[in-house]
Amino acid sequence: MGRGLLSEKVAVVTGAASGIGAAVVERFLAEDARVIAVDMAGQSARPGLVTITGDVADVATWRRVADLARTEFGRLDVLHSNASTSVGAPAHELAEADWDRQLAVNLKAAYLAVHTCAGLLRESGGAVVLTSSVHALVGMPGHPAYAAAKGGLISLGRQLAVEYGPAVRVNTVLPGPILTAAWEGIGEEDRRRSVASTVAARFGRPDEVAAAVTFLASAESSYITGTTLVVDGGWTAVKDSA
Ligand SMILES: NC(=O)c1ccc[n+]([C@@H]2O[C@H](COP(=O)([O-])OP(=O)(O)OC[C@H]3O[C@@H](n4cnc5c(N)ncnc54)[C@H](O)[C@@H]3O)[C@@H](O)[C@H]2O)c1
């Protein structure tokens, strides 16, 4: 058994095949956790890593997670709910089905995660980390459902912290512009303006969010619960007009 921050811990990570989720998986493994990686996309298992292909908006996926955690590992210590989907359109153009889907994947999935895994997390004295977004704090045209879901995650995280504490800690990370597949299809000018709006003057890397998630998932944050951590290179700190 290693001596990493998550030694002897079992963690589930969603949206694990790409971007921030993939970086969290790598960091958790480096910190000696055993990981259940969930994604709709297929992934390869390797030592310490078990994969589940499924939709986080489907309770059946979460029942498989809970069953696997119990039968394979006998415990679950860390739950990182991170998968998301986004459809850009103003409310008057956004199809009802696209609203429902974004709320289901981005917000309901966190409820389903705790609905199915709360017992395991309580037994282990676990930690939950939700991935919200700076879209929860500021408005941007064309993202009503995504912003509403991400805002809801902040309230849900606080609520779950109160509901399941002190046994289980629950916190929420709010990434800013992090260069992942989610930025594919976003033009050069929009990218340049996003970077220019940060204090850091660059995109964030997935591993920089993974570092924050690992902190909140580990005993390093043992007195932190029911709160948020913005990881945005200072994007929300800047007021760039008079
Ligand atoms: N990249 C950014 O700039 C940024 C900014 C703020 C917040 N975030 C948040 O960070 C998280 C990760 O984003 P990312 O940039 O790494 O995205 P990404 O597109 O690189 O990865 C998302 C992963 O989620 C999976 N996924 C999507 N829907 C799913 C579902 N229903 N069930 C299971 N898996 C599903 C995808 O297959 C993909 O592997 C998301 O919650 C996103 O909203 C990202």
Active-site entry in 111, 146, 164, 223: 146
Q: Which residues pair with 78 in a beta bridge?
A: 11, 127
212 class by beta-carbon count within 10 Å (0-12 exposed, 13-18 middle, 19+ buried): buried
> Among 12, 25, 168, which Cα is nearest to 76's?
12
Tell me: pLDDT of 208 over 80.
Answer: yes
pLDDT of amino acid 164: 98
Predicted pLDDT of residue 108 = 99
Calculate how far, in angstroms, residue 204's C-alpha sits from the geometric centre of ligand 1.
15
- Beta-carbon contacts of residue 190 (< 8 Å; ≥ 6 apart): none
The question of whether 111 is a catalytic residue gets the answer: no
Q: How much is the pLDDT for 241? A: 87
Cβ contact 23:39 at 8 Å = no
pLDDT digits (tens, 9 = 90+) for 106-138: 999 999 999 999 999 999 999 999 999 999 999
Please return the burial class of 17, using the count of CB atoms within 10 Å of its CB with bins 0-12, 13-18 and 19+.
Answer: buried
CATH topology of domain 10-231: Rossmann fold (3.40.50)
Where do the domains of the chain lie? 10-231
**Quick check: 180 pLDDT over 80?**
yes
Average pLDDT over residues 163-184: 98
**What integer pLDDT is reported at residue 189 of this predicted model?**
97
Q: Measured between alpha carbons, how far is 138 from 5 in angstroms, rounded to an integer?
A: 33
Binding site membership of 152 for ligand 1 (Cβ less than 6 Å): no
Q: What is the mean pLDDT of the chain?
A: 97
Q: What is the pLDDT of residues 66-107, one digit of tens each?
A: 999 999 999 999 999 999 999 999 999 999 999 999 999 999
